[in-house]
Amino acid sequence: MNDASQHTSQSSLLLSARISVRYGDKAPVLRDLQLDVRSGEVLGLIGQSGSGKSTLAMTILGLLDGKRVHASGMIMFESRDLLTLRERDLRELRGRKIALVLQSPLSSLNPALKIRTQLREAWRAHATRSSADENAAIRGALQSVSLPSDDEFLRKHPSQMSVGQAQRVLIAMAVMHRPALLIADEATSALDVITQSEILALFRKLNRSTGMAILYISHDLASVSSICDRIAILHQGQIVELGAAQHVLTNPQHEYTQRLMAALPRLPEPQKLDVQPLKSAAANSQ
């Protein structure tokens, strides 16, 4: 067992959910879904588009429209049921205890505001300390995601950055208050393969350096294999398989997981060409 797996097996529960979610009179999107997140682990939640992954994230954060959506059950986080909290209490948790990173950074950032302003707003939403603490927090957050913290960078607008840089800014804003849980909802799906790999490595580095748990939500089974301690498979509103990442990937038990594994792209085998050796000019003249 590696260090990460050993740490995960010994850690305590951070979040425990047993929920059902229904939009209006439609069939439930989540049906008695049961999922636990352990302190300090990276848990991958995998499911196809429309399976309810983002609904689960929004339910945890209390961001669903209560007039249109009905959620029942419980979501225990630090001994409190998130489904019973008032909006004021949820606002105190969002960003400070539970943070969110979405898939489209250039849409999530305000195009009219400089990066410095947006980082300051993220800090001031949950801090009452001095401006010196604020500046130190901003510099530390940017450094933790391998971005410059000088004035030239902080004066930029989102449109002046690459998508990868913008995603790092979002992550910096999310981890500024050292939340216990970071929810990354399709956070790499808008990135090219190289940048995606860099962001995945960044998530793992932050997890190891801060002890922050990460719920990594994706439709891409391959993208989670390198960073997740455990993997949960979501299908038709329920968790149909949950276990150590290596076990789920190498020995899937549920039929749906097996189909996901079979659908993973594979590089084609090299073609063997039947090429006859060229004859020398002397041989051709004979």
Spell out the residues 6+ positions from residue 239 whose beta carbon is closer than 8 angstroms to its own: 33, 34, 35, 232, 233
Output the domain CATH number for residue 255. Answer: 3.40.50.300
* Domains of the chain: total: 1
Which residues have CB under 8 Å from 281's CB, separation 6+? none
- The residue range of the domain holding 55 is 1-97+226-262
Residue 273, pLDDT > 60, answer no
Query: What does DSSP assign to residue 277?
Result: P
pTM of the model: 0.86
- Residue 70 in any domain: the answer is yes
Instruction: Specify if 38 maps to a domain.
Output: yes
Taking only the tens place, the pLDDT of each residue in 207-242 is 999 999 999 999 888 778 889 999 999 999 999 999
Mean pLDDT for the chain?
87
Considering the domain boundaries, does residue 128 fall inside one? no
Q: 151-160, 165-174, 264-273, 274-283 — which is least confidently predicted? A: 274-283
Q: Would you call 188 exposed, middle or buried from its count of C-beta atoms within 10 A (0-12, 13-18, 19+)? A: buried
List all residues 6 or more positions away from 109 whose beta carbon is below 8 Å from its beta carbon.
115, 118, 158, 166, 169, 170
Reported as a pLDDT band with limits 50, 70 and 90, residue 271 is low
Please give the average per-residue pLDDT across 89-116, as a whole number: 91
235 in a domain, yes or no? yes
Q: CB–CB of 22/203 below 8 Å?
A: no
Question: What's the pLDDT tens digit per position in 156-209?
Answer: 999 999 999 999 999 999 999 999 999 999 998 878 888 889 999 999 999 999
Res. 66 pLDDT band, cuts 50 70 90: confident
Indicate whether 2 pLDDT > 50: no
- pLDDT at position 254, please? 95
pLDDT at 9 over 60: no
Q: Is 202 within a domain?
A: no
Query: In the 3-class helix/strand/coil scheme, how is 145-210 assigned residue by residue?
Result: CCCCCCHHHHCCCHHHCCHHHHHHHHHHHHHCCCCCEEEEECCCCCCCHHHHHHHHHHHHHHHHHH
Q: Is residue 231 part of a domain?
A: yes
